[in-house]
Amino acid sequence: DAKTTQPTSMDCAEGRAANLPCNHSTISGNEYVYWYRQIHSQGPQYIIHGLKNNETNEMASLIITEDRKSSTLILPHATLRDTAVYYCIVRGSLYGGGSNYKLTFGKGTLLTVNP
């Protein structure tokens, strides 16, 4: 699976949009970009994933660049409860020949939402 690079930490004001970047320059054509978050020591929580098109759900939006070498997770109106470590994960595809059973977590970005 391709390696990802994320900033160690970010701050955001409550009510503002939080934009979390991720670089995945070695991503291959069949690999998906997944985002999870972990609040304190709780289990990781799935947020969103995408292949090449932008995606939106009730939690967040995912913007993937046209060359797919980077992406941005957007929390449109951050709240204090969004303070967490956010993980960007590139996951192999069944059709890409790589393992796609596992999620390979990096260190992620600690997002702190301030009042």
Partner 1 sequence: EPEVTQTPSHQVTQMGQEVILRCVPISNHLYFYWYRQILGQKVEFLVSFYNNEISEKSEIFDDQFSVERPDGSNFTLKIRSTKLEDSAMYFCASSPGREYEQYFGPGTRLTVT
Q: Are 94 and 48 in contact (CB under 8 A)?
A: no
Q: Counting contacts by CB under 8 A, is residue 16 touching partner 1?
A: no
Q: Counting contacts by CB under 8 A, is residue 59 touching partner 1?
A: no
Q: Counting contacts by CB under 8 A, is residue 28 touching partner 1?
A: no
Query: DSSP strand E in the chain: where?
Result: 9-13, 18-23, 32-38, 45-50, 55-56, 61-64, 70-75, 84-91, 109-114
Nearest CB to partner 1, comparing residues 7 and 44: 44
Q: Counting contacts by CB under 8 A, is residue 96 touching partner 1?
A: no
Residue from 19, 23, 28, 104 in contact with partner 1 (CB under 8 A) = 104
Contact residues for partner 1, defined by CB under 8 A = 32, 34, 38, 41-46, 49, 87, 93-94, 99-107
